[in-house]
Homo-oligomer: A and B are copies of this chain.
């Protein structure tokens, strides 16, 4: 904690005066008060991105789904449960934001119905009907208050970079960070990751490292793009 404060003050500040908004963690889409649909995400990579942005001098708001992580030093956090709440929190804070990084593992679908009291097994039935969730990355990329840099994350287990390139274009993002979760010891729940940045001008391999080191490499690249 002390070290985190020292690092926060001593790191170079290429993003001083910039505002950044980061989403992180899974979303929880309730079926009833006990059951839900979710995504595997510890939130670690997103929290590391928020920390690296703060270290680089940005004013950082972290919109986080349910995780057990403490907010990084110097980062303001808004806690949300589901995708709709996450979109709402993001839109409420978009004005004046320079950098948006969507690391959250947002559920693409939610149950069509959500019950206020716990369902019996019979009431639950044997099918869950799904309806699409809002696409937060695409909505921010097309927003009237679009930040200058919009960065998505893609966790893919196959054809990672090709799918990410398609996702980048379809959603209108500037960059997609590809997170290959098919390799053991990387990604979900792990401290380490491998990130490849996909942009309009090709790919940038940030390598395999711990999530904070990768977050700092990502933030250095974002600062370079913002200043160029």
Which A residues fall within an 8 A CB radius of B?
Answer: 28, 31, 33-40, 68, 105, 107-109, 117-118, 121, 124-132, 155-158, 181-182, 188
A73 to B156, CA, bound (A): 38
In the bound complex, do residue B37 and residue A33 qualify as a contact, i.e. CB atoms below 8 Å apart? no
On whether A130 and B131 interact (CB within 8 A), knowing A40-B36, A118-B155, the answer reads no
**Chain B residues with Cβ under 8 A from A158's Cβ?**
117-118
**Chain B residues with Cβ under 8 A from A34's Cβ?**
39-40, 105, 155, 157, 181, 188
In the assembled complex, the CB of A127 is this many whole angstroms from the nearest CB of chain B, namely: 5
In the assembled complex, the CB of A104 is this many whole angstroms from the nearest CB of chain B, namely: 12
In the bound complex, do residue A36 and residue B33 qualify as a contact, i.e. CB atoms below 8 Å apart? no
- The answer, among B36, B121, B127, B182, for a CB contact under 8 Å with A128, is B127
In the bound complex, do residue B36 and residue A37 qualify as a contact, i.e. CB atoms below 8 Å apart? yes
- Highest count of chain B CB atoms <10 Å: which of A34, A40, A105, A124: A34
Pairs A-B, 9 closest by C-beta atoms? A68-B68, A128-B128, A117-B157, A118-B157, A126-B130, A117-B158, A108-B121, A33-B157, A127-B127
In the assembled complex, the CB of A180 is this many whole angstroms from the nearest CB of chain B, namely: 11
**Chain B residues with Cβ under 8 A from A188's Cβ?**
33-34
In the bound complex, do residue A129 and residue B127 qualify as a contact, i.e. CB atoms below 8 Å apart? yes
A175 to B31, CA, bound (A): 28
A129 to B181, CA, bound (A): 26
**Chain B residues with Cβ under 8 A from A132's Cβ?**
121
In the bound complex, do residue B130 and residue A129 qualify as a contact, i.e. CB atoms below 8 Å apart? no
**Chain B residues with Cβ under 8 A from A68's Cβ?**
68
Q: List 9 A-B contacts (CB under 8 A).
A: A28-B40, A33-B182, A33-B188, A34-B155, A36-B38, A36-B39, A36-B40, A37-B38, A124-B130
**Chain B residues with Cβ under 8 A from A40's Cβ?**
28, 33-36
**Chain B residues with Cβ under 8 A from A107's Cβ?**
35
